[in-house]
Chains A and B, each alone.
Chain A
Amino acid sequence: MHEAPPEANRPAPLYFSAREYQMLRALCQLIIPPDGKTGGAVEAGAPEFIDLLTSENADYQRRLLGGLLWLDAACATRFDLPFSDCNAEQQHEMLDAIAFRAHAEKDPSLVPGIEFFSFLRDLVLDGFFSSPIGIEYLQFRGNRVLSSFPGCPE
């Protein structure tokens, strides 16, 4: 099991700027937070996973960079602050608005944010559930060598 390295020793992101990456990490941890027993998406290495794929894919670059900028602009409109400077309550208010497709019906201007958030959420889930923390959280018990297969427990 590997844990995320401490802040100071973390290698520089492959693609994102320091500021973008800080925002990406905050979003990852909001999407899959720690649950009190085990870590969340950041401890599971989701930001590194997303950074790697994005460094290799122009479409990811456009969608994620564009999405981060959209989010900052939307926060500025609502709260007069970029996302990272918003307090927890404001960040939740903003994410609550773009985390559900149905919200686009009342406010079509949310559509780009909803699209971005849906895309990022898929990547965060991939990063979390492909990690040691995520796999243990699901209580997966396989991928080991057995001498016989016991079948279904009673």
Chain B
Amino acid sequence: MRKQAFDTLYNVFEVIRSAKLYDVCIVGSGAAGGMAAKVLTEAGCSVVMLEAGPLLDPAKHYTEHLWPYQLPHRGAGIGGSGMNASGSYELDVAHIAGTIAGEPYLNAPGSQFHWTRGRILGGRTNHWNCVALRFSDHDLRTRSLKGYGEDWPIRYEELAPYYDRVESLIGVHGTREGLAGAPDGVFLPPPVPRCSDLLIKQGCAKLRVPCIAGRAAVITKPHNGRLACHYCAQCTQGCHTASRFSASQVLIPAAVKTGKLTLVPNAMAREILLDKKGKAAGVSYIDKGTATEQRVKVRAVILGASTCESARLLLNSRSTLFPNGLANSSGAVGRYLMDTSAHMVAGDFPQLAAIPPHNHDGTGSVHVYIPWWKYERENGFQGGYHVEIFGGPVMPKVGMFRREAQESEGYGLALRNRCKERYPTSIQLDGRGEMVPNPASFCEIDPAGTVDRWGIPVLRFHLKWSASEIAMAKDMRLSLEEIAVAAGGTPVPSSPHPEFGYLNPGGVAHEVGTVRMGADPGTSVLNGFCQAHAVKNLFVTDGACFTTSPDKNPTLSILALSWRASDYILDQAKKGEI
């Protein structure tokens, strides 16, 4: 039923070199693009949206509720690679992958950035853990308050009304706690804790570490026409009921309903075209189906192509007016690429094996979490981190018993029983930390001239953790181990990264920066409304616009910033400024 509704809703563009002039072209259909499309079409603008992947067909692209044995390779992927034919992890939503055939990216020597790309309507919002945390006033002003990073050109009070609106629209659960570093929002009731969550909460209470209800974009009650969560814990496999927010199921259908949205799937944007006055006048893209170049004519352009794709598009839009890439007279485009710094501590909690077998799934997100708690201390690093809690008797999957096999060895009934005993007893504490912007972390157009199969020059990454992130990882490990012990568990020794146990950059897929906003046009690309300093009808509303990368997961803030930018566009258009 839902699928049919989707098919008839989409107004799919017929590929012609259309003479039609649209009000706005939005590149990308994820959190940023989807939000802008909804706000602008509902206000009456005609919008053409370019999406580099196919339209979403949940029946085909989502793997929710499938058992491992229903997948062709039981989740192990082709030849045990983990990957299916589209390059996605076999158990995850299709067309969201690090490796895309014919679309490479490069790393400079010494850099190990992993770039996860969503090439499907709704982008990576089809596949996320839904953690939805507001940035605080402190997060937006680290330069003034603590002397590191940069100040955003927006204050929390300006962003807060948009957080309110976003939360009311998409549905976010949580509890009001009054913590300055973790501002409260408009919350639905949170889900009750799982057994594993209760253990960690008790451990935190002993240490006087806050452990509060999770904040996530999963609806625990029916909300704006969507069904409440059915607790299958598979948010990253796609949610057929849209109980966890996705742009493809919540924002795009709203925009389609207005009749003002023209969706162009399989359209890979390659260049932003300018008029003689240096204003954005159109977008050139490759129609992947026919492998031909096409163009749309527009009055304004909004980039929501994802952090690095938006930077790539600007850098590839060179002209006599902007020889180093569009809106890049500051040289800041591509610069200050940041991810979330991450370190995970797993612990064994044999007490979980004593609890009778039960459905432990819950939502696919956090039921409880630990907000950053060491504000008033000297920590030896900049910024903070929060901790997400997962684990317990989750759905069995391939790879789950590697450690048991390593430790127990042997074979036969003894091994079989040992796996069963250990199965419910692991809890993971995921530290998620701030990365401070540094000029040594950036992306650029590959100087050797590599192009993808669409003829578009590709990115080369330079990404390095600074001393601050390394010191933070050490603190994460020690603190998380302390929490695991206080909770009655035994931390599992993890194999340390040469630089103290970090995931490689890109591992959490929270990359932001590269087209940052700032008060100074000499060191930033956008103003506080995501508007290019140099091109008044060009906006970048995805993670690229972030000035810093607080420990909080970026999606909620992307939605708020994109909504705010869209309101500004409407206001400026009314005044005749755009």
Binding site for B on A (CB under 8 A): 2, 30-33, 35, 40, 45, 49, 52-53, 56-57, 60, 95, 99-101, 117-118, 121-123, 125-132, 134-135, 137-153
Contact = CB atoms under 8 A, between A and B. Distances in A.
A148 B412 CA distance: 39
A152 B355 contact: yes
Given A53-B80, A151-B193, A138 B393 contact: yes
A99 B80 contact: no
Contact of B232 (A49, A129, A130, A143): A143
Contacts of B257: none
30 contacts: A2-B69, A30-B411, A31-B411, A33-B416, A40-B416, A49-B73, A49-B76, A52-B73, A53-B79, A95-B411, A99-B409, A101-B409, A123-B80, A126-B399, A132-B69, A135-B68, A137-B420, A138-B423, A140-B395, A141-B357, A143-B65, A143-B67, A143-B232, A143-B233, A147-B230, A149-B192, A149-B363, A152-B193, A152-B195, A152-B198
Interface string B155-197: 0000000000000000000000000000000000001111100
B230 A142 contact: no
Contacts of A148: 231
Given A57-B80, A125-B405, A153 B356 contact: yes
Given A121-B411, A125-B405, A140 B358 contact: no
Contacts of B416: 32-33, 35, 40, 128, 137
B475 to A, nearest CB: 30
Of A2, A117, A126, A151, most buried by chain B (CB within 10 Å of CB) is A126
Given A143-B361, A149-B192, A100 B410 contact: yes
Nearest to B65: A143
B397 interface: yes
Nearest to B75: A130
Question: Binding site of B, secondary structure by majority: helix, strand, loop or mixed?
Answer: loop
B487 to A, nearest CB: 14
B362 interface: yes
B240 to A, nearest CB: 10
Contacts of B20: none
Contacts of B361: 142-143, 146, 149
A53 B88 CA distance: 17
A146 B405 contact: no
A132 B67 CA distance: 9
Interface string B226-240: 000111111000000
B396 A130 contact: yes
A106 to B, nearest CB: 15
Interface of B: 65, 67-69, 73-76, 78-81, 191-195, 198, 229-234, 355-363, 393-402, 404-405, 409-413, 415-416, 419-420, 423
Contacts of A146: 230-232, 359, 361
A67 B307 CA distance: 47
Contacts of A33: 412-413, 416
Contacts of A129: 396-398, 400-401, 419
Contacts of B229: 149
B233 to A, nearest CB: 6
Nearest to B420: A138
Contact of A142 (B76, B192, B395, B415): B395
Of A121, A134, A142, most buried by chain B (CB within 10 Å of CB) is A142
Given A30-B411, A126-B76, A153-B358, A145 B230 contact: yes
B423 A149 contact: no
Contacts of B192: 149-152
B395 A143 contact: yes
Which 6 pairs from chain A and chain B are nearest by CB? Answer: A57-B79, A56-B79, A139-B357, A151-B192, A142-B361, A130-B68
B359 A141 contact: yes
A99 B393 CA distance: 27
Nearest to B68: A130
B74 to A, nearest CB: 4
B565 to A, nearest CB: 36
Nearest to B194: A152
Nearest to A148: B231
A141 B67 contact: no
A81 B194 CA distance: 54
Contact of B396 (A40, A49, A138, A149): A138
A60 B74 contact: no
A138 B399 CA distance: 15
Contacts of A101: 409
Contacts of A150: 192, 358-359
A61 to B, nearest CB: 10
A141 B393 CA distance: 9
Contacts of A126: 74, 76, 398-399, 401
B411 A53 contact: no
A142 B360 contact: yes
Contacts of B193: 151-152
A58 to B, nearest CB: 8
A70 B68 CA distance: 32
B396 A140 contact: yes
A137 B234 CA distance: 22
A125 B411 contact: no
A121 B409 CA distance: 9
Given A132-B69, A146-B231, 13 more contacts: A30-B411, A49-B74, A56-B79, A121-B415, A131-B68, A138-B423, A140-B357, A140-B395, A149-B191, A149-B362, A151-B192, A152-B192, A152-B198
Of A121, A129, A135, most buried by chain B (CB within 10 Å of CB) is A129
Given A35-B413, A130-B74, A142 B198 contact: no
